[in-house]
Amino acid sequence: MALNTSIESLPAELLYRVFSFVDEKKSIQQSRLVSHQFKDVASSFLITKTHVYVSSECISKLEELCDHPVYSKSITRVNINISCYDVDMASNRALYMEDCHTRLFQLVDMFDRIRAYRYNMDEETWEETKERLQELVTNEELTKISEEDFEESSATPFQKLAMRLHAMYKQRCNDQESVRQGNKHIGRICAALCKLPKLEELSFYDAPGFVREKPKDSDFKDLTFDRTILKHFNFALWPSKWCGTFTTAYSIVPPVEMLGELCSQLGQHGIRPRSITMNLNAPANLRPIGLSSNQQSGLRSLVSKATRLRLVVDGWARKNSLAENNDRPRDEMLALCSFSQHFFSSPDLESLYIHFVEYPRFYERPNVSLSDILPMQKPWPQLSDLELRYQAAKIDDLRALVELQGDTVKNFNWECGWLLSGGWNEAIEVLRGFGSMEKLSMKFPRGERYGEGRGMHGEIPYDQIYSYILKETDVNPLGYGNIADQ
């Protein structure tokens, strides 16, 4: 190297490589002050991911970011929040107040049982706060707002707080609906993401708290509420999960276009991320989730280059209550399968993760199995990690899975697996056909000898089962004896 060579004379590609080893964002920010060249290279490391949810402000910020000459080239991950503001709660103040009352009742009930709900308050503050909220619930102050003889001029501070929160909720909902009109939000999101040349990860989340909407102290100064009280009303400005709440579970209309149509349009626009995560909450009726043939085709295009796919479905209990009828008819489940079958169609898949959280919710017998949920007609030649949580399978499904993936799967986790046909002794005999298996877990099996799975796992010889499937022993611990004798 010549004596007059300095670090600023290094090629931009080499500087980019140097910055890729710097983890601290503050150091990257400071390095931008060294020179114009440092600024150009370092800036691309400041923003590597972004979040979007359906609001005019958020989508406009996404478009601005994706049009930026530097940041658009550095973003590798986009998180899409698919929760929604409930139109019924926005237009019906009585429903909104009933929902707030119910949530506060649940909160107060949790105060004594779960310490985390105390928000790290000291004992005195906690007792005072609990007493105030308990009085609010007992007196039904919020639901009284909807009574015919209610006069706003005589409203209590808590009632004024609730009315103001509803006005803010309605404003956010109206903004959301204006953006959704004619599916304009789908086109805008797709057009923006097409401008991200390094996009590698897409994550879809049905998580209201993810939006982080919360009451601000400055909006309620005249009511003399500080954060000690206001933080317990954060939920009042959150959008809703697709499964709704105890009050709205059967009335909420989830924005299903954020699943079928958005994924389809992203695929048709040529977006091909390497990793896609989908976190959903099952609505009271799953049927609207079903995809059309055009949407199925677009979804297959979206995932066609993916190596890592994750699907998590939670919220199976309607109204979040085991007292409800939580049975999910087969035609409802097949609507969900019309998504999952095409979501997991990537030929390059290396990691497959599917988790139906605590399904079926009240120990009903599952009415769909792996052959309904996954496309098992062709192998995934690169599939190494396979994790199935709360998935049901027939013995023929396991045979097909081993035949397709017996030479590739190294890590297999089948937690809370339901066996819908055959016996568990036969099942582990079939799973022994995985020839490349290195790591295995099959905790809490259900079906056949293990029934619904309640209190029947204490005597399961897990270690012996794993040793047999991994071919460390020839003795089937569930009854087949020595394999050499068969």
Mean pLDDT, residues 420-439 taken together? 94
Token representation of residue 87 = 């139109």
Question: Are 332 and 350 within 8 A, CB to CB?
Answer: no
Report CA torsion sign: 232, 236, 239, 242.
positive
Of all helices (H) and strands (E), which one includes residue 205?
A: strand 201-205
Report CA torsion sign: 237, 239, 241, 243.
positive
Of all helices (H) and strands (E), which one includes residue 419?
A: strand 418-419
- Quick one: pLDDT at residue 281? 95
Token representation of residue 18 = 């140097």
Q: What 3-state DSSP class applies to 312?
A: strand
Instruction: Determine phi and psi for 460, rounding to 5 degrees.
Output: -75, 125
Using a pLDDT cut of 70, give the percent of the chain over it: 85
List, for residues 262-315, the tens digit of each pLDDT value: 999 999 999 999 999 999 999 999 999 999 999 999 999 999 999 999 999 999
pLDDT above 70: residue 36: no
422: which DSSP letter? S
The residue ranges of DSSP E strands in 349-408, in sequence order, are 351-356, 385-389, 392-393
Residues sharing a CB contact under 8 Å with residue 164, sequence separation 6 or more, in sequence order: 219, 220
Q: Return the minimum-mean-pLDDT range out of 164-178, 229-243, 292-306, 370-384.
A: 229-243
Mean pLDDT, residues 58-83 taken together? 92
- Quick one: pLDDT at residue 302? 98
Nearest to 300 by CA among 348, 257, 255, 336: 348
List, for residues 173-228, the tens digit of each pLDDT value: 999 999 999 999 999 999 999 999 999 999 999 988 766 677 787 888 888 888 88
365: which DSSP letter? P
Question: Are 405 and 432 within 8 A, CB to CB?
Answer: no
- Quick one: pLDDT at residue 307? 98
pLDDT above 80: residue 457: no
pLDDT band at 483 (very low <50, low <70, confident <90, very high): very low
Q: Is 160 exposed, middle or buried (0-12, 13-18, 19+ CB in 10 A)?
A: middle
Of all helices (H) and strands (E), which one includes residue 278?
A: strand 275-281
pLDDT band at 45 (very low <50, low <70, confident <90, very high): low
Q: What 3-state DSSP class applies to 481?
A: strand
* Total number of residues shown for the chain: 486
Instruction: Determine phi and psi for 2, rounding to 5 degrees.
Output: -65, 150
Alpha helix positions (H), 112-156: 123-138
- Quick one: pLDDT at residue 16? 54
Q: Residues 247-251: contacts with CB within 8 Å, 24+ apart?
A: 247/95, 247/98, 247/99, 247/102, 248/86, 248/88, 248/89, 248/95, 248/99, 249/284, 249/318, 249/319, 249/320, 250/284, 250/318, 250/319, 251/86, 251/88, 251/95
Q: What is the C-alpha to C-alpha distance for residues 39 and 30, in angstroms, rounded to an integer?
A: 9
pLDDT above 50: residue 152: yes
Question: Are 203 and 77 within 8 A, CB to CB?
Answer: yes
pLDDT band at 486 (very low <50, low <70, confident <90, very high): very low
Q: What 3-state DSSP class applies to 383?
A: coil
- Quick one: pLDDT at residue 485? 36
Token representation of residue 396 = 């023929």
Question: Are 344 and 371 within 8 A, CB to CB?
Answer: no
240: which DSSP letter? B
Question: Are 45 and 22 within 8 A, CB to CB?
Answer: yes
Report how many helices (DSSP H) and strands (DSSP E) the chain contains, helices first: 17, 13
Of all helices (H) and strands (E), which one includes residue 51?
A: strand 49-52
- Quick one: pLDDT at residue 211? 61
Q: What is the C-alpha to C-alpha distance for residues 198 and 337, in angstroms, rounded to an integer?
A: 30
